Every structure is written in C-alpha cells, then in structure tokens.
Amino acid sequence: MSPVFALVDCNNFYVSCERLFRPELEGRPVVVLSNNDGCIIARSNEAKALGIAMGAPYFQNRALIERHGVEVFSSNYALYGDLSDRVMSILQQLEPEVEIYSIDEAFIRLPGGAAANLAGQALSLRAKIKQYVGIPVSIGIGPTKTLAKIANRIAKKSPEQGGVFDLTDRPDLDDLLAGTEVRDIWGIGRRGAAKLNRRGVFTALDLKNANDGWIRKHLTVTGLRTAMELRGIPCIPVEHEPVPRKSMVCSRSFGKPVFTLADLREAVSTYVSTAAEKLRGEGLTAANLHVFLQTNSHRLDLPQYTAGLMVGLLQPTSSTPALIGAALAGLKKIYRPGFAYRKAGVMLTGLMAAAIRQQNLFRPAPRDNGALMHALDRINDRWGRETVRYASSGLAKPWCMTREHKSPSYTTRWKELPVVKASP
C-alpha cells in the first residue's frame, strides 16, 4: 500500500492565537510584531490585503496601520507555544504517526488505499482541532511530503476547498505543478530558486521533468530527492523523533541601550536560566557555554564593540547555578565600560543526553542538585515562568525588550486567565 502524507498547518498562527481570546477581531486586520516591536512577523488575510509586507518594519507602516484600524500585538511566545502544544497533542492522540515540523506545522501519515476518503478524514481532523483548541488549520494531502506541502499551499489560497486539498490520484497534477513557482517548493529556498531560474527552471513541473544528472550536478542529492518527491516517489519519511540538537542559543535585543555591568549580569542570568530549563526539558546537558554581547551596529554615530568568549565547563551540566556562574565569569572578562550595548546572549554547545554525560577524570563530580532543579521546573511550570528564579536575574529588569502591545498570558499565568461571567 502506497504511503499517504498530510501536512497540517495552522493558519496565520500567531494571529489566530490572538483572535482566539478576542473573537471580535475576526474579519478585521491584525498584525503581530517581533521582539522589541520591531518588524511585522504575522499578518491576517485582511492585513495582507492592505499591502502590509511580511518582515516590514513597524514604524514604516504605522501610518497605514492607524489609518485602517489594524489591531497590533506584540509577540507573546508563551501563549503561542502553549497553544501549539495543544494542537500537536490533539494530532498525536488522533493519528499514529506525527512529525512536529515547526511551532505551527506537523506531518502525519494517513491510512491509504483505493477506497480511502482522505479528504473526508482531513476535514474531520480539521474540525476536531477547531473544536478542541480553537485554531483553524489547513491540510494538504499527497503521496509525498513535498507534494503534501504544495497541496497545503493550495488549500490555504483556495477558500472554496474548505481548508483541505488532496493531490493524490489527480489527473491534473502536472497543471497544478505548472502553476507552482519553483521558489515555493519545500526545500528549494530563495538562492536555490534564483539558481534554477537562471537555468530556465521556473515551476515545480520544470523541476519534476528535469534530467536527474543535471539536477544532481546543480542541486546535489538533496535537490534530486525533491525532484523524485515531485514525481510521487517518497524519499523523505516521517521522522518520529526530532533530530537531536547540537547547540542552543538564548539571546534578546534590549528594549533600551544598556551601559552597566550590573544590568548585563541580570540579562545574561535570565537568558541562562531559560536555556538551562530548556536543556532539562529535553533531557540534555551542555559541555560548553559561549557568552557574547554587542552594541547597535546601525548606530554608526556611537562607538562599536562586539565580543564573545567560550567557557569550558568542568563537566556537562544542565544546572542553572553552574551555568550562571560560568556565564557571569565569562561576561566579566569581555565587558568593557563606555559602550551602549544593544544585545547579549548565551549559546550552549557540546550537547549530550543527561543519562550518558562524561565525568571529569581529574576532578570530583560536583554536588548533584538534580532534585532541586526538578522542583524549580515544576513550580515554574505550574505557576508560570520565573515564579521562582535566581536573584542574579533581577526584579525590575529595565533592560527587558519592548512589548507595548502584548496580550495577556491567557493560558500560562493564573492572574491572567480569562474570566467568564454567566448570568442565569
């Protein structure tokens, strides 16, 4: 039996998350901004129709946004992450094979067969996600993951399809591929598309029909695999386990310039705490820590300084205090007074499973505080991030990024839960 793949993609995900608790915004233009309210990273269909471009600076579009009454939200990643977990949880409950591809996308394997009503199954799945979580999704179905991606794109752009499009056993498949630009093919990218365009390949159909040797020469084996998928030959299976990450970065731009070492210490401690919590959540430890800081490269009227330092750890760890201590020691070495710092962060490398970490032959193992870290994570998971935190992370945090339009943390903070009042 031939495999059948489906891509489930949340529609305008960040916007849909904001609308979930503000239903009066349905049908109105909405945008979501990046960190420090810098650029537009999500748009409703109504905002797209106004000509608001993805990634455009907010300040350049402010007049247009105000003129048309566009609702503006600062990014609320805690809310988006929680709702993403709920969508993926529903998928994993309903489907046996699920690959979480991104915060708002997942591949699934559908039961195939000549008599299978794939579109009907997808419509049922779409309705359940809408009912249980409230997030609208589009589902593309195809004999390969690449064709499922194209089908999903068609489902999104064609409202008459009801949010589902099936590319299996379609006699007009070549016509649909001819209407798909090569830059819109999964895995090609902007540079790959430009290279193909220069060589006369403009559509998915052109790539599908290209010579295998030519494809391998210009796009390597990865491009050939994509062409095979366009021909309906599955080459990319559903990954049941995520690829182990090799590094982890936690960094933010400051809401305003930072000058003092004390403020930088608070920021770096906060970023380390977040990274350490993620490490423990994924069952990993880190062997190395890199700390870095930089000024605003766009402010040519100010003196510039960028520095970074790798701090080797005595042994791989995910302990928050151990990582904070290493990061602050490194920060002290690279800090220079007299500069207006715009950004700082940490990167953890040498990641490995916590169960198999290598001990140090020449030094005794540090005291195990795994139980303490577990308790810390449980408290913060139950009562909200930073309910319990290390003092070095600070309290007021004047350096925090700007989020003037942030919505409440409806699902992750007790004090911000929606209040429902029912009348008899």
Region of poorest pLDDT, from 111-115, 213-217, 303-307 = 111-115
The mean pLDDT of the chain is: 90
Between residues 407 and 366, which one has the greater pLDDT?
Answer: 407
Residues 6+ away with beta carbon under 8 Å from 311: 288, 289, 290, 291, 326, 327, 329, 330
State residue 245's pLDDT score: 83
Q: What percent of the chain has pLDDT over 90?
A: 66
Q: What is the distance between the terminal CA atoms of the chain, rounded to a whole angstrom?
A: 56
- What is the fold of 13-76? MutS, DNA mismatch repair protein, domain I (3.40.1170)
- Encode pLDDT of 129-162 as tens digits: 999 999 999 999 999 999 999 999 999 988 888 9
Residue 418 makes CB contacts below 8 A (sequence gap 6+) with 21, 410
Q: What does the pLDDT look like over 29-66, one tens digit per residue?
A: 999 999 889 899 999 999 999 999 999 999 999 999 99
Structural domain boundaries of the chain?
A: 4-10+80-230, 13-76, 247-393
- Phi–psi pair at 46, nearest 5 degrees: -65, -35
- 387 or 239: whose pLDDT is higher? 387
Higher pLDDT, 413 or 196: 196
pLDDT surpasses 60 at 114: no
Amino acid code (one letter) for 185: I
* pLDDT at residue 115 is higher than 50: no
DSSP codes, 48-117 = HHTTPPTT-BHHHHHHHHHHTT-EEEE--HHHHHHHHHHHHHHHHHH-S-EEEEETTEEEEEEP--TT--
- Looking at the predicted structure, is the pLDDT value of residue 239 above 80? no
Q: Is CATH 3.30.1490.100 the right assignment for the domain spanning 247-393?
A: yes
Residue ranges of the alpha helices (H) in 95-211? Answer: 118-132, 145-157, 173-178, 189-198, 204-209
User: Exposed (0-12), middle (13-18) or buried (19+): which is 170, by Cβ within 10 Å?
Assistant: middle
Q: For 135-139, 163-167, 358-362, which range has the lowest pLDDT when averaged over its residues?
A: 358-362
Confidence of residue 409 (pLDDT cuts 50, 70, 90): confident
Looking at residue 358, its pLDDT comes to: 66
pLDDT of residue 357: 65
DSSP-derived secondary structure letter, 336:
-
Beta-strand relationship, 284-295 and 306-317: antiparallel
Condensed to tens digits (0 to 9), the pLDDT of residues 166-223 reads 999 889 999 999 999 999 999 888 888 898 999 899 999 999 999 999 888 888 888 8
| Residue 340 or 244, more confident | 340
Does residue 9 register a pLDDT over 90? yes
Name, of 200-204, 236-240, 400-404, the range with top average pLDDT.
Answer: 200-204
- Sign of the CA dihedral running 404, 406, 408, 412: negative
Q: Which residues pair with 293 in a beta bridge?
A: 307, 344
Q: Are 290 and 275 in contact (CB under 8 A)?
A: no
Q: What is the pLDDT of residue 299?
A: 86
Could you report the per-residue pLDDT of 284-302, keeping only the tens digit for each?
999 999 999 999 988 888 9
pLDDT at 403: 83
Looking at domain 4-10+80-230, does it have CATH number 3.30.565.10? no
- Alpha-carbon distance of 108 to 224, in angstroms, equals 23
- For residues 317-336, give the mean pLDDT: 95
